[in-house]
Amino acid sequence: MLIKLLERIQLTVGVLFLVVFFITIVIQVITRYMGISAIWTEEVATYSFIWAVFMGASVMLNRREHFKFDLLLNKLKGKSKNSLFLVNDLILLLFSIGLLYLGIEAVQNFWNYTWVSIPVLKMGYVWISIPIMGGTMVIYTFAHILRNVRNFSKKEVAE
């Protein structure tokens, strides 16, 4: 239940930032056509796209829809397949913890930097997307590990 709510929140945030990205690009095209220079549109588009991608990447990890090599996975069955999922999830958990930790460090280091075109906005608002992604990836991966350990004695694996 918590996982579904967290996923829904992340998808909503990701879609909102994707909409901001699209609207900003449209504004940029229109203003260039009119001969007006809207400098702020490049940064807003870039940073909103970063947020959209990071929120989507975390959700894709939860749904196991991210890029993967599944040749070996398709050949295995039962406990062997479950063991491979478990090893994969443990590696993802370590990676996610690293993202969370280093993301927090990046936010602390770059929080007070400002945007070039909109100096009242801090870069910390952009960088905070990394530990949010890492933290939710830790939660999702931990949930996968718990489910796989619970289902280890069953024949089929919960993907």
- The CA distance from 133 to 130, in Å, is 5
The radius of gyration computed from the CA coordinates of the chain, to the nearest angstrom, equals 20
**So what's the pLDDT on residue 148?**
86
Q: Say what the pTM is.
A: 0.86
Residue pLDDT, tens place only, 89-129 = 999 999 999 999 999 999 999 999 998 888 899 999 999 99
Please state the rounded mean pLDDT for residues 134-154.
89
Predicted confidence band of residue 85 (pLDDT cuts 50, 70, 90):
confident
Please state the rounded mean pLDDT for residues 142-151.
89
- The CA distance from 19 to 119, in Å, is 23
